[in-house]
Amino acid sequence: MKEIGIALLGLGNVGLGTYRILANHAKDIERRLGARVRVRHVLVRNAGKSRPEDVPASLITHDMKTILEDKDVSVVVELMGGLSPSREYLEQAIASGRNVVTANKALLSAHGEALYSKALARGVDVHFEGAVCGGIPIIRTLREALASDRVESLTGIVNGTTNFILSAMANEGASYADALRRAQELGYAEADPTLDVSGMDAAQKLCLLASLAFSARVSPESILVEGITSLTPTDIAYGREAGYVLKLLATARRAPEGLDVRVHPAFIPAASPLADVSSAFNAVLLQSAALGASLYSGRGAGDLPTGSAVVSDIIDTCRNLLAGVSGRLPLPCPPHVHDVPLLSSGERRGPVYLRFSVSDEPGVLGRIASVLGEKGVSINSVLQRPPRPADSHATIVVFTHDTREADVAAAVQWIDSLRSTRAPTQVIRIEEGPGVLLASR
Amino acid sequence: MKEIGIALLGLGNVGLGTYRILANHAKDIERRLGARVRVRHVLVRNAGKSRPEDVPASLITHDMKTILEDKDVSVVVELMGGLSPSREYLEQAIASGRNVVTANKALLSAHGEALYSKALARGVDVHFEGAVCGGIPIIRTLREALASDRVESLTGIVNGTTNFILSAMANEGASYADALRRAQELGYAEADPTLDVSGMDAAQKLCLLASLAFSARVSPESILVEGITSLTPTDIAYGREAGYVLKLLATARRAPEGLDVRVHPAFIPAASPLADVSSAFNAVLLQSAALGASLYSGRGAGDLPTGSAVVSDIIDTCRNLLAGVSGRLPLPCPPHVHDVPLLSSGERRGPVYLRFSVSDEPGVLGRIASVLGEKGVSINSVLQRPPRPADSHATIVVFTHDTREADVAAAVQWIDSLRSTRAPTQVIRIEEGPGVLLASR
């Protein structure tokens, strides 16, 4: 039986998950592939770190040179994370003619195009299913199943940490800080949660997906990214009264003026299939010309889900090696991606939820309504609550009709400067779209 | 630019959808593939039938020989349906060295293994994404993404017609007959709906999916298949009171005694993501060792969804032609499928819903409970309703604990023979499983 040698870079969560799936499913993989996949090296940077018992000491190396000089290594699998030395290692692997697999979303987001171009020039494969939504084969779906189709929009819940926190806030009325603490205790959030809660992790994933779905060059720096840190259980409760669930939504859609790509919290209809995606699960809803609506959901991350995605990439690239082909699938680099106009966020139109904290005195609602009207923000419904005994302010909640974001921003800026306004106005976008696509009985 | 010639067999719904996607998305496909896909022939059997305006008359042929003799045809795409002559045509195409694509589930169900084996021997590809759940890339997912994993169970709603009918019965309290009539008027059901409502269409799809997921040889004749014709809105209403939704469920799962493969109506928890799959949508829920739970949902059929699946297959097979490879993915024929023991349906254990129609007289519930106890069927809850004025009988509904199916059948047979029983007892299985996997907020 033929044998294909691979090297794993990194033995963290995903590295170990990958190693174990390769070991535990070896027979099945062998049968499906018609060849044996043999791990020849596992690169570990920290020599002092204790090694799991099931990884033989003979496989461990601390030197990338050992791997590059082993002629029997055909595939290099990068699972170290970070930008460096993962980037250099991948470049060396590509330059030496190895096919590579990576689950490093941050790296691909920052330097993906350069890596893909090098691989294209060198005639080797790059696979990266594990980089986005580990438990959902969404990269494969976009690269292959949707190759026949024209994607109109892509809407996803692609960050498990924020989804866990928002679910906890919704279910238990917990504050953001308490929900974050629980997420950290349970291992759903890092000690420094910034990347997740700022929306940046979701933005990196979205840009990768959008580049595949729309053959477009999109970077997190060029799109609107808002995180979840200013959200409160009060907002979630008001939204629920109106039939909405609050999610951190990643959206990319074709608009007449350009591609509209954004990450921000959004109220979505409770009947939407995305509203049911809880805790550490991810989901992606595609709308495409021929297929119509299709939904993909599964675990977002974790050693085994992501490890499974990585191993399916290893199998794929081994199939190509066995067949003696490369570059079977186009990579998201030129000539397959283009610069496209992006819709400026101020030009986006849609309904929004506004929560005003105001002094409890006559005429306040009238003033707010006047400003909104002045700026062209049309009110759909209003909810005014008297201040609770402990509160120094009253709350006015407004759901608007479709409105230009720039108009909302101008109105809010004005209202926040009024003497009667006690705290900055909360603005949350409403996305009705995902509700009507697949649902409901 | 290179050009790959293809021939379409059949110009019905899916044939025309395929033709139009190839035409409308030609530029995108060309860019992604790096080659042009050119339709050289469209085989139409009925010469008299009117041809859509956008298909040039010069492409139409009535003779398979024209296609086989055209050296520039590299891919034959069978979209005629039926068992013959589609089988002979595909065999001829394979024998002449053409890669083939088919969306013919019935044919694959009956003669798939023979076709795959011929293709394997001849070194050509067979692709069949369009054969099952057109709008969901589930074949691709099982063949590629899950190649790294071990599928534990597969639960699907894979027949849009029955899903539409059951949704209509649930939403409007319509009788089966009325809901079927509406489905026929709207084009969701055929004039002869037998294949769908008997569960046989779902069984054919399930067996295809199971053969891929479990590398097992499973045929519709060897599994339990029950349709929806005896279901009533009354049952749906009783189930709803207990928190269930009624679906035609296709299930395959590993059990210690063998593979448990079945198609039948089942009550599933209303919180299950499968409960939300309405009307003409399909969904497949996978549980696998590494990935955990993952859900795939989209339109089940239709010219464009299925056409899109067919075109993605055409692109895939063209990629292989351009790379000069074939047999990249294993086909579900020996050596990749095996005979495996199947769990006999009587041995299956699970809760069931029983609706008894009995005469309204003392002691009836006691007799029924005694028989159930005698046969080892343990009661979870009971609901007894007095007869409505118009009815000649009272209704007793029992939800059982986990029970062997053979024991339920024996108890029901006994109870149906009692003098106090007025109509055959309704038995509906309950599947709690799909509820706990992905849900819920």
Residues 351-390 on A with a CB inside 8 Å of B are: none
Residue A27 has pLDDT above 70, yes or no: yes
Is the distance from CB of B280 to CB of B302 less than 8 angstroms?
Answer: yes
Q: Tokens 């933005």 sit at which residue? A: A203
Q: What is the pLDDT of residue A439?
A: 43
The mean pLDDT of chain A is 93
The Cα of B329 is separated from the nearest Cα of chain A by a number of Å equal to 8
Cβ–Cβ of B295/A297 closer than 8 Å? yes
Among candidate residues A172, A149, A176, A148, the one with its CA nearest the CA of residue A161 = A176
Q: Per-residue pLDDT tens for B253-279?
A: 999 999 999 999 999 999 888 998 888
Q: Convert the pLDDT of each residue in A71-116 to its tens digit.
A: 999 999 999 999 999 999 999 999 999 999 999 999 999 999 999 9
pLDDT 10s digits, B195-233:
999 999 999 999 999 999 999 999 999 999 999 999 999
HSE toward the beta carbon, residue A82, CA cutoff 13 A: 10
Residues 229-248 (A) with a CB less than 8 A from some CB of B: 245
DSSP A91-128: HHHHHTT-EEEE--HHHHHHHHHHHHHHHHHHT--EE-
Instruction: Find the helix packing angle between A176-185 and A160-172, rounded to 10°.
Output: 120
Question: Could you read off the pLDDT of B335-365 as tens digits, one per residue?
Answer: 889 999 999 989 999 999 999 999 988 899 9
Distance between CA atoms of residues A184 and A178, nearest Å: 10
Q: Tell me the mean pLDDT in the region A25-52.
A: 90
Active-site residue list of A = 205
Interatomic CA distance for residues B77 and B99, integer angstroms: 9
Mean pLDDT, rounded, for B45-69: 90
Contact A148 B29 (CB under 8 A): yes
What is the model's pLDDT at position B265? 98
Q: Does A27 touch chain B (CB under 8 A)?
A: no
Q: Which residues of A touch B240 (CB under 8 A)?
A: none
ipTM of the complex: 0.85
pLDDT band at B304 (very low <50, low <70, confident <90, very high): very high
Residue corresponding to tokens 């680099």: A333
Mean pLDDT of chain B: 93
Nearest CA in chain B to A325: B323
User: Average pLDDT for residues B159-187, to the nearest whole number?
Assistant: 95
- List of domains in chain A: 3-135+303-323 (3.40.50.720), 145-298 (3.30.360.10), 346-435 (3.30.70.260)
Based on the residue annotation, tell me whether B375 is a catalytic residue of this protein. no
- At a CB cut-off of 8 Å and minimum separation 6, what does A92 contact? A64, A68
Is a pLDDT exceeding 50 seen at residue B27?
yes
Distances (CA, A) of A120 to A110, A218, A327, A336: 18, 20, 7, 11
B441 pLDDT more than 60: no
How many other CB atoms are found less than 10 A from the CB of residue A194? 11
Residue A380 backbone class (left: φ over 0; alpha: ψ -120 to 50; beta: rest)? alpha
Could you tell me if B272 and B439 are in contact, meaning their C-beta atoms sit under 8 angstroms apart?
A: yes
Instruction: Using an 8 Å CB-CB cutoff, list chain B residues near A154.
Output: none
| For testing contact with chain A, the best of B21, B148, B287 (most A CBs within 10 A) | B148
pLDDT of residue A1: 85
Question: Is residue B214 a contact partner of residue B252, using CB atoms and an 8 Å limit?
Answer: yes
Q: Is A32 on the interface with B (CB under 8 A)?
A: yes
pLDDT in tens, A307-331: 999 999 999 999 999 999 888 888 9
* Residue A390: both structure tokens together: 């402990």
Q: How far apart are CA B32 and CA B57, in angstroms?
A: 29
B297·A294 Cβ contact <8 A: yes
